[in-house]
Amino acid sequence: MRQLWPGIALVLLAACSGADRDFSESSIADLHDQMQRGELSSAELVDWYIDRIEAIDQAGPGLNAIIEINPDARDTAAALDQEWQTSGPRGPLHGIPVVLKANIDTADQMYTSAGSLALAEHVPEEDAFIVKRLRNAGAVILAKANLSEWANFRSSHSSSGWSSVGGQTRNPYDTARSPCGSSSGSGVAVAANLTVVAVGTETDGSVVCPSGMNGIVGIKPTLGLVSRSGIIPGAHSQDTAGPMARSVRDAAILLTAMTGIDADDPATAAAEIHHDYSANLTADGLSGKRIGVIRSYYGAGSVPGVEEVLEASIAALKAQGAEIVDDIHIAIGDMYDDEDTVFLYELKADLAAYFNTSGAPVGSLADVIAFNKAHADTVMPFFGQDYFLLAQESGPLTDEAYQAALENSKRAARAGIDGALKEDELDALIAPTNGPAWMIDHINGDTFSVGSSSLAAVSGYPNITVPAGFVSGLPIGLSFIGKPWNEKQLIEIAYAFEQATGVRRAPALSSGN
């Protein structure tokens, strides 16, 4: 763990930054209004978040969401404050702190490690495309967030939110429980008000699960809407970055800044990009919409309370003028088995491609496996690397087994969603995002109870989770799944649901400020 900030500097920063003020639960619009009135500067805001990270994340409850703070954050904020004074804001993200998952490249004084000691001092040669977009939009890259090591691909018995670089991230609603993964630190940082917004990445569930389980909004975009270049991969046919925020509007603002055509990522060439996903969001966005309910999600009926949250959500949708088509059946065949095959092949190939273009200190999955064996005491104290070993045995992406699995899994997922949307003339599908957070267990690993991410993940279609309720004080999200490139309408639907329900409740944490 790198030192976050010199202790003396923290005291000085708190003294000069109005540390008695509390920006918890503040939206991007709230903060910009204060900046516009001259009541707040970006530098002051950065100071406040650094102080809060020190008080809550590393001390206090010890959430352990942040791996390192950007040493350049305050200087960047001060420069953006000066720019605002001379030429005005660049847009809604000007001066706003953003936390990045630690598998996203930044060519600065921070490391891009994927939580692995094998990459603990890896500084890429350039920013990821989305980081360039965020910097151009005026965002302040505040910190890197912890994650499930290698995005949860190393072991079948891994613990979400644990990495050999960052240790164990904890759920802010109950620190004995899991934050879900792999974008654990990003989700916890937003939920616990350690940042305004954050960026996570998803292959299957890694944005929506930690968002749902930490009581925030997460958007898993259509594959290709957000560039994948400069992000440590898991499986390119499903990988995407996505925004995580406390509100739908803030997530939409962040998504707008992240999108763009990237010559280094051919998937973005087909993107249908709307320039402002936060525009035209209204409370009546559900009126006349047809919403299909998936009852056959993973773990359906197995966890007391989750069905009650779903029923309350359905009632809220109806009350806002939505037409509900219940019990949508989607046949997926062998999609899950095919997805696993795809992951094994793509993990090996994609990591090698990333290592060889980013200046990484390792060149292949085999190198990482060897490193882990040589440093087993610190890298593998709780779980091994059985998934890595299986991936290493896979062949090239020209193998017939891989090609067939990729084609079959995509066909099943897309046909399932497309067929349901078309047959019943639906605007979106819904299902619970997650069950209540399970206890952290470094011996047995994760205990997933409820999930609905795979259809959108495998198909490459968009998925938005919004806080929907609580079970035993633990957050439950509702997922909205739609057709590709339809983020604008899906965000409008999610926003209207959020406005009607107002479920988000911050975890009970002492800030120390």
Catalogue the active-site residues: 101, 182, 206
pLDDT, residue 192, reads: 98
Mean pLDDT of 358-382: 98
Confidence grade of residue 512 (pLDDT, cut at 50, 70, 90): very low
Q: Facing residues of 160 across strands?
A: none
- What percentage of the chain's residues is helix, strand, coil (to nearest 5)? 40, 15, 45
Does the N-terminal peptide bond of residue 182 adopt cis geometry, omega within 30 degrees of 0?
Answer: yes
Residue type, 41: S
CB 487 within 8 A of CB 274: yes
Angstrom CA distances, 181 to 155, 160, 176, 271, stand at 13, 5, 15, 27
Is the confidence at residue 62, as pLDDT, over 70? yes
* Residue 226: strand pairing partners: 223
| Residue 272: predicted pLDDT | 79
Q: For 327-353, how does the pLDDT look when each residue is reduced to its tens digit (9 = 90+)? A: 998 989 999 999 999 999 999 999 999
Has residue 17 got a pLDDT over 90?
no
* Residue predicted with more confidence, 36 or 19: 36
Mean pLDDT, rounded, for 104-111: 98
3-state DSSP call for residue 154? coil
Q: What is the mean pLDDT of residues 147-153?
A: 98
pLDDT value at residue 510: 61
Structure-block tokens of residue 44: 């002051």
Q: What is the pLDDT of residue 59?
A: 85
Backbone angles phi, psi at 451, to 5 degrees: -165, 155
- Provide the percentage of residues in the chain whose pLDDT is more than 70: 96
Per the prediction, the chain carries an average pLDDT of 94
- Tell me the C-alpha distance between 15 and 78, whole Å: 17
Rounded CA-CA distance 147/102 in Å is 7
> What pLDDT, on a 0 to 100 scale, did the predictor assign at position 1?
37
pLDDT band at 61, cuts 50/70/90?
confident
298: Cα within 13 Å, side-chain hemisphere: 17
Of 259 and 17, more confident:
259
| The pLDDT of residue 513 | 36
Indicate if the pLDDT at residue 12 is higher than 80: no
Please tell me the distance from the alpha carbon of residue 443 to that of residue 119, in angstroms, as a whole number.
25
pLDDT at residue 173 tops 70? yes
* pLDDT number for residue 2: 39
Instruction: Name the amino acid, one letter, at 227.
Output: S
pLDDT 10s digits, 183-209: 999 999 999 999 999 999 999 999 999
- Give the bridge partners for 167, in sequence order: 163
Q: If you average pLDDT over residues 152-161, what whole number do you get? A: 97
Q: CA-CA distance, 222 to 265, in Å (whole number)? A: 14
| pLDDT tens profile 286-339 | 999 999 999 999 999 999 999 999 999 999 999 999 999 999 989 899 999 999
What number of CA atoms fall less than 13 Å from residue 134's CA on the CB side?
Answer: 31
Q: What mean pLDDT do residues 497-508 have?
A: 98
Q: What whole-number distance in Å separates Cα of residue 221 and Cα of residue 243? A: 9
Cα separations in angstroms, 231 against 128, 240, 369, 409 = 6, 9, 20, 24
Cα 367 to Cα 121, 164, 339, 362, 467: the distances in Å are: 16, 17, 25, 6, 41
What average pLDDT does range 103-115 have in this prediction?
98
